[in-house]
Amino acid sequence: MGGIALNVSLLNEKVTFQKNVVVTDAIGNHKNSWEDFYTCHATIGGEGMASSKEKEVAGTIVEDVGMTVTIRYCRKASEIDSTTHRIIFRDEIYDIANVDHMNFKKKCLKFSCRKVRR
């Protein structure tokens, strides 16, 4: 068969992708909000390992935690973009740094992420 294979048994963590949308309140004010866009099972890689780095933020050394999230390809997932979406994993928020379409074989998508400091 060749090509990229996604081991289904590794899809053992649930993730939710959220989309940034503009909402209007009762008196017409516009504000940005996050709404759930797509929930699925994923393979999580690299959290707290080589992809993590320390960096200085406002004079304080903080850990820049990175990870990868790999999911099965589907039409809805293919709409996910690093500028408009984020990932919720185990009640933590991750910004999407990069979307890898894995040679556009339509088998899986891989997202490189950074944990958001709260």
The whole-number pLDDT of residue 58 equals 55
The whole-number pLDDT of residue 2 equals 43
Does the residue 71 lie in any domain? yes
- Residue-wise pLDDT for 47-89, tens only, equals 644 444 555 555 655 556 689 999 999 999 999 999 999 999 9
Mean pLDDT over 93-98 rounds to 95
Q: Strands, DSSP E only, in the chain? A: 13-24, 30-45, 53-57, 60-64, 66-72, 85-89, 92-100, 108-115
Does the residue 4 lie in any domain? no
User: 96: closest CA among 54, 34, 49?
Assistant: 34
Inform me whether the pLDDT recorded for 108 exceeds 60: yes
Does the residue 7 lie in any domain? no
Does the residue 76 lie in any domain? yes
pTM of model > 0.75: yes
Q: What domain range includes position 72? A: 12-115
Does the residue 5 lie in any domain? no
Pairing of strands 30-45, 66-72: antiparallel
| Domains held by the chain: number | 1
User: Rounded distance, CA 72 to CA 80, Å?
Assistant: 13
Q: What percent of the chain has pLDDT over 70?
A: 76
The enclosing domain of 62 has a CATH number of 2.40.10.270
Mean pLDDT of the chain: 84
User: Rounded distance, CA 45 to CA 39, Å?
Assistant: 18
Does the residue 80 lie in any domain? yes
- Residue-wise pLDDT for 17-32, tens only, equals 999 999 998 899 999 9
